Amino acid sequence: MKNSDEHIIKISDIVYTAAILIAALVIFALVAGGGKGQTVVFKLDGEVLAELPLDKDATYEVQGAYTNVFAIEGSTLRVTETNCPHQECQKTGAVSAMGASIVCAPNHVSATITGEGVEIDAITG
Amino acid sequence: MCAAIVLALGMAGCGNAQEQHTSQSFVMDTVFDQTVYADTVLVVASNTQLVNNIEALMSKTIPTSDIYKINHSLGHDVSVNGETARVIRASLQVAEQTEGAFNPAMGDIMQLWGFGTESENVPSPERIAKVLELSDYTKVEVKDGNLVNSNGVMLDLGGVVKGYALDSLKDNLDLMGAGPALVSLGGSIYARGTKPDGAPWTIGVRDPFGSSTDYMGTLELTDMCISTSGSYERGFTEGGVYYHHIIDPATGYPAKNGLVSVSVMDEGGLETDLYSTALFVMGAEKGVEFAQEHEISALFITEDKKLYKTGSFVDDFQLTDEGYYTNH
């Protein structure tokens, strides 16, 4: 019997895709609307993956070419584990300020703390 | 249907005011962040493409780049893109002006140290002395018709491409009729216009003694560029000693003069990148003198937290961290 499973888009795929799109639209609306409260926005290749509140302890793992494991703990954000070449992201340590971000360049990943009241627009350094 | 929703939402904001478009991408081994107010979302993609094009021309590792071809040309003339020729010419001019403190011919030395690669290591004094002889920027010729002959010297434009990209981005934003914008390429920043609410773009200067998101002072920039050379980036530790990546062309070793960072602001992005490197290599005393003489606005930070300011930094820089001592 011919196996035709590989070409079937399952219902769960559609639901999952729709959920991600809706989440993306919600995030877009939040960011465009100025956002409320401090949240961490995780991006891979510039695309938003997730948005988590800074005041709720959690871990979040990003799989790109490498793996970064982020921890939100006590309203701070840091990388607890990574297999990227220089671990610069992990060496950044914990950040908590509005507008602060942790970047893993080899993995094309960034995690930024956003919300109201960003004092500065960018850092030169 | 989902695509239609996304499209509809994307277009929902298209009223009279220019819309804010943001983007983050990775190019030139670093983060490229953009916030642009424009009539079309195409601006950010255009900017990203532009920076990628510059990297394609001036990277020393991409085999099809102008710089790679020059570096492997065995003393022959190489025909390059007009932009490449312009950047090399500007680099050579500043090299001469700074008596080699900025040197675009450091390809061999940088390769020897291997910063940012798996082969980063502290070379022997003998090997350093040998490659030092190969870093003579006076051997580089830029001839009419965009022909470049490096005469065996290896170019490395790492200390200038980001600043140059800022100038190109400014031109592109002008061309596309963009409004206010803030673009940041690995810490080299162009602040265009003022934010729609009338507030100026506020830039933080990284605290050399903190993390990459700590800042020790701020500047309000309007239609200006700023770049920073700092010893805290792209260095490595060997045998318990930290070696930063800003090599003094005179010694072949990381510049050791008590400075931890130098920031330069100017309308020209290329200038900010060239001079932040050159002034770092010169050190505070010579650097301050040079900056004042040539009317360069610069901020010098020393390893014992002293600040020296020239030009616009004197009045415009707001210190936010009390742990620093301002001289004069």
pLDDT at A24: 54
Q: Residue B288 corresponds to which tokens in the numbers above?
A: 């301050």
Q: Which residues of chain B have a CB within 8 Å of the CB of A45?
A: 25-26
Long-range CB contacts (within 8 A, 24+) of B287-291? B287/B259, B287/B262, B290/B98
Measured CA to CA, the distance from residue A79 to residue A48 in angstroms comes to 18
Nearest-CA distance B246 → chain A (Å): 14
Is the complex ipTM higher than 0.90? no
- CB contact under 8 Å between A122 and B201, yes or no, is yes
Measured CA to CA, the distance from residue B184 to residue B166 in angstroms comes to 8
Other CB atoms closer than 10 Å to residue A3's CB: what's the count?
Answer: 6
CB A94 within 8 A of CB A14: no
Q: What is the pTM of this model?
A: 0.78
Q: Residue A103 corresponds to which tokens in the numbers above?
A: 């970047």
Counting residues of chain B whose pLDDT is more than 90, the rounded percentage is 86
CB B220 within 8 A of CB B201: yes
The three-class DSSP label of residue B289 is: helix
- Cα separation values, B246 from A122, B123, B256, B261, Å: 23, 15, 9, 10
Measured CA to CA, the distance from residue B256 to residue B254 in angstroms comes to 6
Size of interface A-B (CB pairs under 8 A): 95
List chain A pLDDT tens, one digit each, 125 residues. 545 556 677 888 777 776 676 655 554 444 433 333 588 999 998 889 999 999 899 999 999 999 999 999 998 999 999 999 989 899 888 988 777 889 999 999 999 988 654 578 999 99
Domains parsed from chain B with CATH numbers: 6-56+160-326 (3.10.520.10), 62-149 (1.10.3980.10)
> Considering CB atoms only, which of B29, B30, B206 is closest to A123?
B206
Domains parsed from chain A with CATH numbers: 36-116 (2.60.320.10)
Q: Residue A106 corresponds to which tokens in the numbers above?
A: 């080899």
- CB contact under 8 Å between A18 and B23, yes or no, is no
Chain A contact present for B215, CB below 8 A: yes
- CB contact under 8 Å between B187 and A124, yes or no, is yes
- CB contact under 8 Å between A122 and B118, yes or no, is no
pLDDT at B213: 82
- CB contact under 8 Å between B228 and A125, yes or no, is yes
Place of tokens 């005041």: A55
Alpha-helical segments (H) within B13-157: 42-58, 66-71, 82-97, 107-113, 125-132
C-alpha triplet A93, A96, A102: angle, nearest 5°: 50
- What digits encode the pLDDT tens for the residues B33-78? 999 999 999 999 999 999 999 999 999 999 999 999 999 998 999 9
Q: In what order do the strands lie in the sheet with B141-143?
A: B78-79, B147-149, B141-143
Comparing alpha-carbon positions, the chain A residue that sits nearest to B25 is A46
Question: Per-residue pLDDT for B137 more than 90?
Answer: yes
